[in-house]
């Protein structure tokens, strides 16, 4: 998993990239990268 964090005034942006197989039964079938970004407001790091 690759992660990076950036800060903007009042916000923290955490970018995540995870490699996932296209077919769990056949790992040689290839994979894709799944991207997600978590945006957290100031003081909200412990909140869901």
User: Mean pLDDT, to the nearest integer, of 13-37?
Assistant: 96
**Domain span at 34:** 2-41
Three-state SS string across the chain, please?
Answer: CEEEEEEECCEEEEEEEEEEECCCCCHHHCEEEEEEEEEEECCCCCCC
pTM of the model: 0.75
- Mind listing the pLDDT tens digit for each residue in 3-15? 999 999 999 999 9
pLDDT at 9: 96
Question: Is position 23 within any domain?
Answer: yes
Question: Is position 46 within any domain?
Answer: no
pLDDT at 47: 82
Question: Is position 17 within any domain?
Answer: yes
Q: Is residue 31 very low, low, confident or very high in pLDDT (cuts 50, 70, 90)?
A: very high
């Amino acid at each position: 998993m690759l992660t990076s964090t950036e800060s903007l005034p009042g916000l923290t942006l955490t970018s995540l990239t995870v490699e996932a197989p296209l077919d769990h039964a056949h790992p040689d079938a290839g994979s894709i990268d799944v991207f997600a970004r978590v945006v957290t407001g100031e003081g909200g790091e412990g909140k869901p």
